[in-house]
Amino acid sequence: MKSSSLLLLSFLLGVCGVQGASSFRICAFNLHHFGESKVKKSNVVHTLARIITRCDVCLLQEVRDMKGKAVPQLLDHLNRYDPDHEYTSVASERLGRSSAYQEQYVFVYRTDTVSVTGQYQYPDDREGDVDAFSREPFIVRFKAPKTDIKEFVLIPQHTTPINTTKELDALYDVLQHVRKMWKTENVMLLGDFNADCGYLAKKNRKHVRLLTARNLYWLIPEKTDTTVRSSTSCTYDRIVVHGERFARSVVPTSAAPFNFQQAYRLSEDQALEVSDHYPVEVLLKGAADRVSLSVGTFLSLFVLKMLT
């Protein structure tokens, strides 16, 4: 009897473990001057497809698609590379103080796991933070029924290196505005913050509310290298979660850069053709995780009672 009960316990816990194994991946990737010339390189686009299709939602930065052709071509490649999912995108306007250099924020996402329920281009003329950003955040609200959190807001930012401290501090104002506007606490800030090395001096950190305020969780550990070049080691790219509820919905220790150079056995030069940054990513718990945990606990207690 005890032997069969132990087998039953192992089986049931295994089933619960499988149910709870599903997770949802959010990524942020600085593509380093992504445009028509880069999308024409088949080896580069293939590597990008391998990277981006790992993610349910992927924020792309440094998109310089002046004619609006590069992103559609990338999406076409993603959908051919991964026919099990359908990928689409939502993008900001072209942003930047100089017409000679402008970028877009582009969110690529799987339509079968997530949908867009709102979008908002943060203006550059709000009282108190006039022209705070070189590239104002393009804020998107997502619905993800299969996640534990169900719905969340993503605030992207690619800071200007010479203005990193000011822009990171101003992101705190953006966060408060979004919380009030959409009446939500489930907010994630992510992107190439340039939040390390010479761009964010230690003496300036006390002036950045995004760093000093409570209820904000910086998920990428300090001293984590998010750069491709072997000559640099900086934690530029970051993921920050607001609120305990959202933080609890993150798979513990899952936030990290994805070293595609190592994963795909590329030389440094080959990797740099793709980007000089690694993407950063984090996993959200699936909706089944909480259910499977409670069911597993109940079944464990039930079978253990049978054994005693």
Write the DSSP symbol of residue 92.
Answer: P
Q: Which of 62, 77, 136, 158 is catalytic?
A: 158
Q: Give the closest residue to 291 by CA, choosing from 146, 194, 177.
A: 146
Contact by Cβ (8 Å): 228, 261: yes
Backbone angles phi, psi at 109, to 5 degrees: -145, 160
Q: Give the closest residue to 200 by CA, choosing from 143, 238, 246, 155.
A: 238
Give, to the nearest 10 degrees, the angle between helix 42-52 and helix 70-81.
60
Backbone angles phi, psi at 83, to 5 degrees: -70, -10
Is 136 annotated in the active site? no
Separation between Cα atoms, residue 140 and residue 9, nearest integer Å: 43
Secondary structure element (H or E) that encloses residue 187, with its range: strand 187-192
Q: Which of 103, 136, 167, 281 is catalytic?
A: 103
Is 103 annotated in the active site? yes
Burial of 198 (0-12, 13-18, 19+ CB in 10 A): exposed
Write the DSSP symbol of residue 221.
Answer: P
Separation between Cα atoms, residue 157 and residue 141, nearest integer Å: 15
* DSSP reduced 3-state for 194: coil
> Which pair of structure tokens corresponds to residue 193?
């913050």
> 88 has which bridge partners?
109
- Residues involved in catalysis: 103, 158
